[in-house]
Amino acid sequence: MEQSIYWADDLTNEDLIMQLIANPDDSLVFEELIRRLKPIIFGEALAYRSQLPFDNDDYLQEGRIVLWKIAAKGTFKPGNFRNFFISAMKFHFRHLYRDYVLHNMIRIGGYEDCRGQAYQILIEAPFAARFRERHRIHCRESYHRRKEREAAERERLGIPESAPKLRLSPEEKRERCRARSLAYYYAHADEMNARAKAKRAAARAAKQAAK
């Protein structure tokens, strides 16, 4: 069992973190805080043990990173440091999991056909599929909330709601494209004819010069 530093027995976590903020290079205070906060680090890592390829040393290292950032930035204000560190670890592990998923959505898996020949194929990781579905739902809900806020703001300001966007069938889109092409041609017919005439004249001149 790890022993605490004798002079730190009478100091609270809040006292130690304030000392560490004042002197981020104090390794004794840093290690004492890590010793005290280790149960929190491993407790918050429980939800990700089956999702991330980390061992205890990796999770402990992530806890060290979080504590170092708190000390370096001085973000902790007087209060309950235990609750503050729990919130910081939750946010850090959530961000770490999201980053891992986004960079490991596809993995190489094995496949064997009916003749016993083995192949390697690319498959989507199960956790990536779940994360993608949750992300899609979150984006859809955020979009609807934003639209509701915009509608409420327009109603408050008395701004009429804009007309819904016209949806065209494929035939109507082709007809609109044809009409735009004809309109452009009629608007620039003289210029286009002059360019074609100049191009033909240049070609005739080049042909005569070649003779």
**At residue 4, does pLDDT exceed 80?**
no
Weakest mean pLDDT among 18-27, 31-40, 138-147, 162-171? 162-171
**Residue 124: what pLDDT?**
67
pLDDT at 23: 87
Q: Which of 45, 3, 53 is nearest to 28 (CA)?
A: 3
pLDDT (0 to 100) of residue 1: 43
Query: CA 87 to CA 133: how far, in whole Å?
Result: 25
| 3-class DSSP assignment, residue 108 | strand
pTM: 0.50
pLDDT digits (tens, 9 = 90+) for 69-104: 888 888 787 788 888 899 999 999 988 888 887 777
Report the pLDDT value the prediction gives residue 65, as an integer from 0 to 100: 92
3-state SS of 59-74? HHHHHHHHHHHHHHHC
Confidence check: pLDDT of 123 > 70:
no
The answer, yes or no, to whether residue 122 has pLDDT greater than 60, is yes
Long-range pairs of 81-84 with CB within 8 A, sequence gap ≥ 24: 81/12, 81/13, 81/14, 81/17, 82/13, 82/37, 82/40
Q: What is the pLDDT of residue 118?
A: 64
Residue 46 CA to residue 65 CA, distance in Å, equals 18
Q: Check if the beta carbon of residue 6 is closer than 8 Å to that of residue 23.
A: no
Question: What is residue 114's predicted lDDT score, i.e. its pLDDT?
Answer: 62
pLDDT tens digits, 32-77? 889 999 999 999 998 888 778 888 899 999 999 999 988 888 878 7
Which of 15-24, 108-117, 146-155, 168-177 is least confident? 108-117
